[in-house]
Amino acid sequence: MVQLPAYAPELNPVEGVWSLLRRALANFAVADLPGLVRIVKHKLKKIQYRPHLLTGCLAQAGLTLDTPAKT
């Protein structure tokens, strides 16, 4: 058993994704909620298709993504 601190964002890879999203949204101004939802979905999809960014978020948290061997 490992005792983790109460708040440890450096151990959570999702914090890296939120950081990327915040940077991507820094210069946007939206007039309404549907516009914000559309932009957030678009930016998350762009992050999804850039695997090196997601791998970096995992690595920052000290994790790796191992794919199962094909048999």
Say if residues 43 and 24 touch (Cβ distance below 8 Å).
Answer: yes
Q: How far apart are CA 69 and CA 57, in angstroms?
A: 23
Q: Any idea which residue has 């998350």 for tokens? A: 44
- First-last CA distance in the chain: 33
> Consecutive sets of 10 residues in the chain, 71 residues long: mean pLDDT of each?
74 87 88 92 92 86 76 67
How much is the pLDDT for 5? 72
pTM of the model: 0.70
DSSP assignment letter at 63? -
- Two structure tokens written together for 57: 């978020």
